[in-house]
Structure 1
Amino acid sequence: MTTGIEKAADLSAKFSFTMAAAAMLLALSACAGGPAVDSQSSASSVAAGNVVGPRDTGTFPNLNIKPGQAAPQFTDSEAKAKLAALEADRRTAQNPGRTAGARNDSAALRKLGATHAKDALREIEGKCDPALDPTCK
């Protein structure tokens, strides 16, 4: 008769073996290549211009050629204008209510914050105000 510990150890060994087998199958499937490509089909795809990525030209690359600019450079005035626009956007994002013409309700919100807890407790405890709750008795 086996104990619970022996059963757990046997189950752990089986699980480890299964995981090792799955890892080996995964590694072997990564090694399997697709269908073999003959030289004529690859030559026709090169001629058609369907090549993506590097291609073998049979020569070494010339590393002395200076690469060109990826995009035209900003002038100083364009850079200052873009920085000013970004700064304006940053200020707007920090305080969106002020720029949208919203009114300043901070005093009313402070008053509501000070009285809201008292009103809520009064309603919860059953000592409600009929002015606040018309269903209050």
Structure 2
Amino acid sequence: MTINVGETVFFGAARFCRIGAAIVLVGIAGCSSTNTGGPVPMAETAGPKDTGTFPNLNIPPKVAAKQFTNEERDAKLAQLKADENRQGAKKGGGPPVSNQAALTDLAKKHGPQTLKQIEGKCDPALDPTCK
């Protein structure tokens, strides 16, 4: 019974009346406006004007500070390069490895040993507190 009521309400001949009424209401709402001032007056003189508001995109901004000269730019770039080189020298500054074979062996064994500890299969050689 509910299905028949739904078909009658939504798919019957009455839907045309509802659609027509909705179109009429939208048309009436669209035609009523509150603009009674008429057309907007045009500017009397062409060109940018300072309105005192921010930002006025018609007037180019004034420079806030003195620009660098080429000599100042080169001096600052040289200082930055010197700082970069000083930092680069610190980056690789570790003691040289004396026994590469021992480190390679440690890398091969480290993963399986860690997994044994994690999984609870403790090895007394790795963990003296393990029993």
Q: TM-score range by the shorter chain?
A: 0.3 to 0.5
Larger relative contact order (Cα-Cα within 8 Å, sequence gap ≥ 6): 2
| Bigger proportion of residues as helix | 1
Q: TM-score normalized by structure 1?
A: 0.35
Q: TM-score normalized by structure 2?
A: 0.36
Higher radius of gyration, 1 or 2? 2
